[in-house]
Amino acid sequence: MFTGIIEALGSIAATEMRGGDMRLRISSASLPMAEVKLGDSFATNGVCLTVVAVLSDGFWADVSNETLSLSTFANAKPGQVVNLERAMLASSRLDGHIVSGHVDGVGRVLSYTNDARSIRVGIEAPANLARYIATKGSICVDGVSLTVNRIDGSVFELNVVPHTAAETIIQQYRVGTQINLEVDVVARYLERLLQADKPTESGISMATLADNGFLRARK
C-alpha cells in the first residue's frame, strides 16, 4: 500500500525479456538501499513492483504480462526517469490517498499549460475508467496522488503545484505523453458492492425484476 507521495526519482537502468515477460533494473542515488530487502514493494511510476534482487544503488523487479498490458512499462526503455515510493508503514501519515499500486490503465496528456506558478494538465483517461473519476476526487498519476479539478467525459484536468512538479516526472510531461492511471480504490469497491445484488450470467434475480417494474406489489 502507498500514499502517492513520491520519495525519490530514479531511472530504468536495464530491461530484460525473460520467458515472455520482463525484468527491470531500477536505479536511484536517492534511495536508502541499506533499508531495502528482498520482497519489499516499490511503487514505480505507480506500479507496485516486488524487489527480487537488491543492489547498492537500486533493485531488480519482475513485470508480469498483466502489468505490461495495463501500464506504460510495455514501452519501458533504459534511461527513462521514474517516480519511486516505498510501501507505507502502518505508523506513517497518509499524506496523499490510499494507493494500491495496481494500475488500471494508460492515459494520455492532452494539454500542459502554466497557470501562475502551477501547471494545468489535461489528461484523457480510457473510457472504461471515466466513471471512477470525480471532480475534487483523488487520482494517482504515475504514482503521484493528485486532485481532479474538473472532468468532462473521459477528459479530466489537474492542477500541479510547483513542489510536486519539481519532485516528480510531471515536469517532463508533454502533449502526447502516456501515463499510468490508478483510480480511487474506494470507488472500485463501492461499484462492486452495488453490483453484488445484480443478476449474474446464470440468471435474473427477483430483486432486479422488481426494480425494473416487472413484478407487481402484492395488495
Instruction: Please give the average per-residue pLDDT across 80-104, as a whole number.
Output: 90
Instruction: Please give the average per-residue pLDDT across 50-76, as a whole number.
Output: 96
Count of structural domains, the chain: 2
CATH code: domain of residue 52: 2.40.30.20
The reply to whether 109 and 82 lie within a common domain is no
The reply to whether 29 and 82 lie within a common domain is yes
pLDDT of residue 96: 85
The reply to whether 136 and 74 lie within a common domain is no
pTM for the full predicted model: 0.86
pLDDT band at 112 (very low <50, low <70, confident <90, very high): very high
Cα–Cα distance, 13 to 74 (Å, whole number) = 15
Instruction: Please give the average per-residue pLDDT across 121-132, as a whole number.
Output: 96
* Per-residue model confidence as pLDDT tens digits over 162-175: 999 999 999 999 99
Supply the range of the domain harboring residue 59: 8-86
Chain-centroid distance, C-alpha 68: 13
Q: Which of 86, 64, 74, 75 is nearest to 6 (CA)?
A: 86
The reply to whether 112 and 58 lie within a common domain is no
The answer to the question of residue 206 being in a domain is no
* Per-residue model confidence as pLDDT tens digits over 137-147: 999 999 999 99
Chain-centroid distance, C-alpha 67: 11
The reply to whether 167 and 139 lie within a common domain is yes
The answer to the question of residue 125 being in a domain is yes
Q: Among the residues of the chain, which ranges form H helices?
A: 65-70, 162-167, 185-195, 206-211
What DSSP line would sit under 126-138, residue for residue? PGGGGGG--TT-E
The reply to whether 69 and 116 lie within a common domain is no
Chain-centroid distance, C-alpha 219: 52
The answer to the question of residue 24 being in a domain is yes
The answer to the question of residue 208 being in a domain is no
Instruction: Answer yes or no: are the C-beta atoms of 48 and 100 closer than 8 Å.
Output: yes
The answer to the question of residue 92 being in a domain is no
